[in-house]
Amino acid sequence: MPAFGFVADDLTGAADVLAQSHRYGLEAVLVIGDAPLPADADVVGIAGPSRSLAGEAFDTLVRRDLAGIAALNLEVLLYKVCSTFDSSTTVGSIGRGIQLLHEQFALHGPIPVVPAQPAFGRYTAFSNHYATHAGQIYRLDRHPVMSRHPSTPMAEADLRQVLAEQLGTGEVPGAIHLPVYEDGTFKDAWADRRRELGAPAFVVDAVDERHMDAVAEALTREEHGHGPSIVVGSGGIMAALARSISDQTPRTPGPQRPSGPVLAISASASSTTAEQINDAITHGWEDVPVPAELLQRHDTTAVAALDRRVSAALQKGRNVVVHTTRGPGDPRYGAAKPADAGYVGALIGGIAARMATAGLTRDIAVCGGDTSSHALIAMGVRELRVSDQFVTAGPILQADGRSAVAGCRLLLKGGQVGPTNILRRFAGQLPD
């Protein structure tokens, strides 16, 4: 039986958890939707598109996934959220997710919230959250991308305040701050917060791997008479948990060997992804923009035209990138807002599914966290396993044999993930 489990609010975030597990030698499996949970793994997770959902749709999906994972006798359960904490009181609410965790695990007590991922440039200090962009560290409310996120712009960096608003109780959660790691009182502070009656959650600071390892130790040493230890956090927590039970040397990425032309599909509005798309196009990739009008309304003729263009390029052996925007400055970005994540994800995922089914590509990159789940669902994916390490938070994955992309090499890349040349690296276009 698995020691650790997770419920993720999108597919690219779930891929990060798989990557951290695999890096330290653990066998990890992700299931999508209501697929059966395997027992032949150290880490098992469920992922869906809850980050892009609101209201009853959000509640229904998270309740289903939590009920499924609760059937396992887990030591630790991670409710996986983005390391940039993007959410709101309505869309992808982390606070509402915490309430649903308490609904499923009523006896757990206050839940630690630890989104830091130091290896990925995500830090929490005195409850304020920070993220790296273009080599600089920004407070979340001043981050060039996250402060202007298309669906969940982050106007507040203090995670206690973010959670207070999302929980709707008017009470600000407690916290564990950095000095306790240095003065030797972390364990006492953890115990005090976990015993705080009636508190739904508390925020935990972390700015380096030593801090993350202390959190993992606290989670794994707790008594488990009333279910698993629960934590809300990012892939940084899974990396620390994996280190806590693994004696293997961390795996490192190997050279990428595509079997033919690569297809990248992107619905990310991130400037990071825009730079990656621009890099690929500059180096000869076929540029296939999705028309703005198709982002709002389905048009069978327009979709068929996209398919023909992508198919023709792949048949010529050209790498292709299909995109809904090239950053927030793209005219389509403003014209198409607010585009439905489910519709857009299914649109670009359907293109990938048809190209793979036709045998035109066996190497597919999916860019964009909010839409990735919908894209994979459109491909018929029910299960994912890591086949190779790649970039931080972005492993190479393989899908189950019944999906349209069975046998393909898959990269799920969140909006903020990866170096500028990530698509060319995935395509094996850079020297080893």
Nearest to 230, CA basis, from 187, 176, 181, 194: 194
User: So what's the pLDDT on residue 313?
Assistant: 98
Q: How confident is the model at residue 226 (pLDDT cuts 50, 70, 90)?
A: confident
Cα angle 373, 374, 380; round to 5: 90
pLDDT over 90 (residue 6): yes
pLDDT at residue 321 greater than cutoff 90: yes
| Interval 293-308 mean pLDDT | 94
Q: Is 432 exposed, middle or buried (0-12, 13-18, 19+ CB in 10 A)?
A: exposed
The yes-or-no verdict on residue 216 having pLDDT over 80 is: yes
- Is the pLDDT at 431 greater than 90? The verdict is no
Predicted local distance difference test score (pLDDT) of residue 424: 97
Written as six digits, the tokens of 384 are: 């994912």
pLDDT at site 338? 60
Place of tokens 């059966």: 36
Query: Which segments of the chain belong to CATH 3.40.50.10840?
Result: 4-245
Cα–Cα distance, 298 to 250 (Å, whole number): 45
Q: What is Dmax (Cα atoms) for the chain?
A: 66
45 near 37, Cβ under 8 Å?
no
- The pLDDT assigned to 393 comes to 79
Nearest Cα to Cα of residue 84 among 154, 15, 14: 154
**What pLDDT does residue 330 have?**
87
Per-residue confidence (pLDDT) for residue 337, from 0 to 100: 61
pLDDT at 242 over 70: yes
Round the CA-based radius of gyration of the chain to a whole number and report it: 21
Task: Please give the pLDDT value at position 253.
Answer: 87
Mind listing the pLDDT tens digit for each residue in 101-143?
Answer: 999 999 999 999 999 999 999 999 999 999 998 889 999 999 9
Percent of the chain topping pLDDT 90: 75
Question: Which numeric CATH code is attached to 4-245?
Answer: 3.40.50.10840
**What is the reported pLDDT for 432?**
58
pLDDT at 324: 94
170 contacts: CB under 8 Å, gap ≥ 6: 164
pLDDT tens per residue, range 327-371: 888 888 776 666 788 899 999 999 999 999 999 999 999 998 778
What is the predicted pLDDT for the residue at 91?
92
| Over residues 21-25, mean pLDDT | 93
**Which residue stretches of 283-368 are H helix?**
300-315, 331-336, 341-357
CA 54, 95, 28, 362: dihedral to nearest 10 degrees?
30
pLDDT digits 0-9 by tens, 71-97: 998 999 999 998 999 899 999 999 999
When the pLDDT of each residue in the chain is averaged and rounded to a whole number, the result is 93
Residue ranges, CATH 3.40.980.20, the chain: 262-426
Note whether 31 and 321 are within 8 A (CB).
no
244-262 per-position pLDDT tens digit? 999 889 998 888 999 999 9
Please answer whether residues 95 and 61 qualify as being in contact, where contact means their C-beta atoms are separated by less than 8 angstroms.
no
CATH classification of 262-426, choosing from 3.40.980.20, 3.40.50.1970, 3.40.1260.10, 3.60.15.10? Answer: 3.40.980.20
Specify the amino acid at residue 17.
V
Contacts of 189 (CB under 8 A, 6+ apart): 176, 180
Closest CA to 417 of 235, 260, 243, 250: 235
> What is the pLDDT at residue 39?
81
Handedness of CA 348, 353, 356, 362 (dihedral sign): positive
The one-character DSSP state at 415 is T
If you search the block for the tokens 């991922």, which residue do you land on? 117
pLDDT confidence of 152, banded at 50, 70, 90? Answer: confident
